[in-house]
Amino acid sequence: MNTKAIKVAWWEFSEKVKSKAFILSLIIMPIIIILLGAVPTFLATREDTQPIIVGIIDETNKMYLDLSGRLEQKYKLSNGLPNYILRKIEIRNDLATAFSEANDLLRAGEIEGYFYFSSSVFDSGKVEYRARNVGNIKIQERFSRTIEELIVERRLAKEGLDPSLIGRLTAGINVVSIKVTEEREEETGFLDVFFTGYILIMILVYLILTSGQMLVRSMVEEKSNRLVEVLLSSCSAKDLMAGKILGLSALAVLQVTIWGLVSLAVISKVGFGFNVLLFENLLLSVVYFILGYLFYAAIFVAAGSPVTTEHEAQQITSYLSLLLIFPLVISLVIMQNPNSTLIKILSFIPLITPTLMVLRLNIQLPQTWEIIGTIGVLFVSFLYTIWLAGKIFRVAILSYGKRPSLAELVRWIREE
């Protein structure tokens, strides 16, 4: 590394940091995270503000009273009103008219949905819930739990058992997930773990993509205005490439630092956050982060330097982003079984190593040999790619007009 590379780096950094694109991306990323992470969680756990009216068709004539009493006792709104109000739909003539009456109410929006208890419900345990929106998991979950309680109690009573005794005997099993690490024990929920890894990966993917795009763009620009000739008559291609990667990396570091400081400030003020900043293995994550970033930067140079138009540059970026996002797509599988052989094998594919390992680190610490092995593979891949990229860059940056064929690329790499 010599002073010219640093001058190129400083130029790339100082010019990009002033650009609108950078300032925009500083703001956009947190917004994406909030949208993808916080909003669904917030919406899912949000308290209702008004009582919800649910219809009941009760053939047993027993469930209505029990259920409304129990619901009122269990779920109250913050203003003291009951969260759920049951509206009984009488079976006057036959069941069919009751159903059509209920459906009318449903369509009119007077009830959120309705439950149907058949006369055999205590034996079969089968309850129907009909609604326009059957995706409202909260209502279904709360009702089915309460209904289950009531039915079980009745069954017990029928057998001559005391429900309260049974309740005492069966109570007290409440699984709290506690993640055990070397230093401390910490209560974490599924969401915390998931989002920690998820957000880290999102940041990595985002940084790689934005930097990669800037890298390819600046190469395309210098090519199209032939500035690259002036640059190459002032410094070596190696310095130019190293400077570009270094400058954009510095930009990424600045970006992460700003996000970090801002989120620290927000969390300390609001006291809200899903353990994002409490991830263990910070150091290891950073190693994967940096290696992954550099590896992809080298790929972007290799793939981007033969490109001559903005349009082609965008294509390259979108292909590479698919590879990057792959671990996110299979993240649920990883969550469920982080130690499966398949996941272990996938971890050694350098293109997905960084994102996959960052995700795994936050679920369960992989074995030491895996960590050393994947870091080794990633590092060697990075060295090889940057060597390859250097060769391609040296020739490709001067190729104008037509895109080089694969055969040409291979020849460039072989050429001394």
Residues of this chain that interact with other proteins (CB under 8 A) are 4, 7-8, 11, 14-15, 19, 221, 224-227, 229-235, 398
Q: How far is CA 105 from the centre of its chain?
A: 39
Residue 70, H or E segment? helix 63-74
Taking the complex as a whole, how short is the minimal distance between the CB of residue 234 and other proteins, in angstroms? Answer: 4
- In DSSP terms, 85 is beta-bridged to 53
Nearer to other proteins, 7 or 155 (CB): 7
Nearer to other proteins, 166 or 398 (CB): 398
Nearer to other proteins, 127 or 398 (CB): 398
- State phi, psi for 129 to the nearest 5 degrees: -120, 125
Answer yes or no: are the C-beta atoms of 251 and 11 closer than 8 Å. no
Taking the complex as a whole, how short is the minimal distance between the CB of residue 392 and other proteins, in angstroms? Answer: 15
Taking the complex as a whole, how short is the minimal distance between the CB of residue 30 and other proteins, in angstroms? Answer: 25
Nearer to other proteins, 223 or 360 (CB): 223
Residue 108: CB atoms within 10 Å: 8
Nearer to other proteins, 127 or 232 (CB): 232
Nearer to other proteins, 145 or 226 (CB): 226
Nearer to other proteins, 97 or 225 (CB): 225
Which tokens belong to 411? 């020849």
Taking the complex as a whole, how short is the minimal distance between the CB of residue 209 and other proteins, in angstroms? Answer: 21
Answer yes or no: are the C-beta atoms of 343 and 334 closer than 8 Å. yes
d(CA 196, CA 362): 7
Taking the complex as a whole, how short is the minimal distance between the CB of residue 244 and other proteins, in angstroms? Answer: 13
- State phi, psi for 115 to the nearest 5 degrees: -100, 145
Nearer to other proteins, 7 or 179 (CB): 7
Taking the complex as a whole, how short is the minimal distance between the CB of residue 271 and other proteins, in angstroms? Answer: 42
Taking the complex as a whole, how short is the minimal distance between the CB of residue 402 and other proteins, in angstroms? Answer: 13
CA angle at residue 326 from 365 to 250, to 5 degrees? 75
Answer yes or no: are the C-beta atoms of 374 and 359 closer than 8 Å. no
- In DSSP terms, 129 is beta-bridged to 115
User: What are the angstrom distances between the C-alpha of 347 and each of 181, 197, 276, 289, 335?
Assistant: 22, 15, 23, 14, 14
Nearer to other proteins, 10 or 99 (CB): 10
- In DSSP terms, 87 is beta-bridged to 55
Classify residue 107 by burial, with Cβ atoms within 10 Å: 0-12, 13-18, 19+: exposed
d(CA 361, CA 354): 10
Taking the complex as a whole, how short is the minimal distance between the CB of residue 221 and other proteins, in angstroms? Answer: 7
Nearer to other proteins, 66 or 222 (CB): 222
Answer yes or no: are the C-beta atoms of 77 and 47 closer than 8 Å. yes
d(CA 99, CA 89): 9
Taking the complex as a whole, how short is the minimal distance between the CB of residue 21 and other proteins, in angstroms? Answer: 10
d(CA 71, CA 53): 12
Taking the complex as a whole, how short is the minimal distance between the CB of residue 236 and other proteins, in angstroms? Answer: 8
Residue 87, H or E segment? strand 84-88
